[in-house]
Amino acid sequence: MPEEHDLAELDEQYMRLALLEADLAAADDEVPIGAVVIKDGQVIGRGHNMRETWRDPTAHAEMIAIREAAQTLSAWRLTGCTLYVTIEPCPMCAGALLLSRIKRLVYGAPDPKAGVVDTLYRLLDDERFNHRVEVTAGVLQNECAAVIQAFFKRKRLRRVEEE
């Protein structure tokens, strides 16, 4: 296991990859959330929101990255993997983390409307589940929050201009 200082540097490095995925979502006029799954220092899954493009309510960044990681490993159990995501996961995505047996979650900014890791609930800490996910919150928090805030600011400005 890397030293704590080294782990913090790695967390920032991988979160920057998740931010690049968020930029891809924004370019498609999707809510800019990005995610990557890492195992043994390798990216094995990546995703960004595609709900509008795919017309699929489950096409969240985390779900897409988890699916790709499972395909890469040819296994649904993602033991030993870390998911990096720019925003705190919603109930669906947190459930997928539990069900896929992801070892660790690293997220950027809290989600006051749908986050269930630390904000609205603490789903990943619930002892009634047969799996726990280690959580590191707040990695590049300001940058992750700024991406979302800028997106919705642009949306609001466009709406005003159309009126």
- Cβ-contact 61, 47 below 8 angstroms: yes
> Which residues belong to the active site?
62
Which of these, 63, 45, 58, lies nearest to 99 by C-alpha position?
A: 63
Which of these, 105, 38, 103, 109, lies nearest to 69 by C-alpha position?
A: 38
Q: If phi over 0 gives left and psi between -120 and 50 gives alpha, with beta otherwise, what is residue 69? A: alpha
